[in-house]
């Protein structure tokens, strides 16, 4: 373990690093992600109940999170059967910076929000070890991030996330409910056609 960067903002237990990534790093990271998408194309996921999600999704790392009529789960392969590409070094560098952990993430989930896309309140609980945080990186259009507590009925607070912001969900916020209410389409010029990319880094398998 190494020293981690301290957050400049904490809301409801969520550690927020506004503008952590400068523009040049954001541009380079988007190029890295283009290579990820070339190897593992974005898919339009369906929930176990048959509902079409409004985000498009892919992943990088040893495992990727998928959903279909069979359920929510992690898989070593893309839905088309091919292995996931490696997590880009620039993305791993953010994990190192804000967690200081020697343990690296098993998965980098990549969600793309086009115009009108959102993500309902949910918990990240398909992982095998909740002692590790989830690290979220925002790229592109601004998004209204809603944060709650471990109980679904707890009050929520909202905060606009901009391109280059990083959020760490650990400790009491690791199993907190959270979601994206809306995206301010066209608020960033990082992606030529607009939209938002959200990366979430997760440790999936329990510690040895």
pLDDT tens, residue by residue, 70-103: 999 999 999 999 999 999 999 999 999 999 999 9
What tokens does 207 get? 């510690």
Using alpha carbons, list the distances in angstroms from residue 4 to 36, 57, 103, 150, 168: 27, 29, 13, 25, 12
Q: What is the pLDDT of residue 80?
A: 95
Q: Which CATH number fits domain 9-202: 1.40.20.10, 2.60.120.590, 3.40.50.720, 3.40.50.300?
A: 2.60.120.590
* Contact (Cβ atoms closer than 8 angstroms) between residue 132 and residue 101: yes
Tell me the pLDDT of the chain (208 aa) as tens digits: 667 889 989 999 999 999 999 999 999 999 999 999 999 999 999 999 999 999 999 999 999 999 999 999 999 999 999 999 999 999 999 999 999 999 999 999 999 999 999 999 999 999 999 999 999 999 999 999 999 999 999 999 999 999 999 999 999 999 999 999 999 999 999 999 999 999 999 999 876 5
DSSP-derived pairing of the beta strands 166-169 and 142-147: unpaired
pLDDT of residue 4: 86
């Amino acid at each position: 373990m190494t020293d981690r960067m301290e957050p400049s903002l904490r809301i409801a237990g969520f550690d927020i690093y506004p503008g952590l990534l400068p523009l040049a790093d954001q541009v380079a990271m988007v190029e890295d992600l283009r290579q990820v998408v070339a190897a593992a194309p974005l898919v339009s996921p369906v929930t176990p109940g048959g509902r079409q999600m409004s985000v498009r999704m892919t992943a990088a790392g040893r495992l990727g999170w998928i959903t279909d009529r069979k359920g929510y789960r992690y898989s070593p392969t893309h839905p088309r059967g091919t292995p996931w590409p490696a997590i880009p070094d620039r993305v791993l560098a953010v994990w190192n910076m804000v967690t200081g952990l020697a343990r690296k993430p098993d998965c980098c989930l990549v969600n793309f929000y086009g115009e009108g896309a959102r993500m309902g309140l949910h918990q990240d609980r398909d992982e095998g070890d909740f002692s590790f945080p989830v690290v979220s990186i925002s790229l592109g259009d601004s998004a209204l991030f809603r944060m709650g507590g471990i109980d679904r009925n707890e009050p929520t607070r909202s905060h606009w996330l901009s391109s280059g912001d990083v959020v760490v969900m650990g400790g009491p916020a690791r199993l907190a409910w959270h979601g994206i209410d809306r995206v301010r389409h066209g608020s960033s010029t990082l992606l030529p056609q607009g939209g938002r990319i959200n990366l979430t880094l997760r440790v999936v398998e329990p510690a040895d």
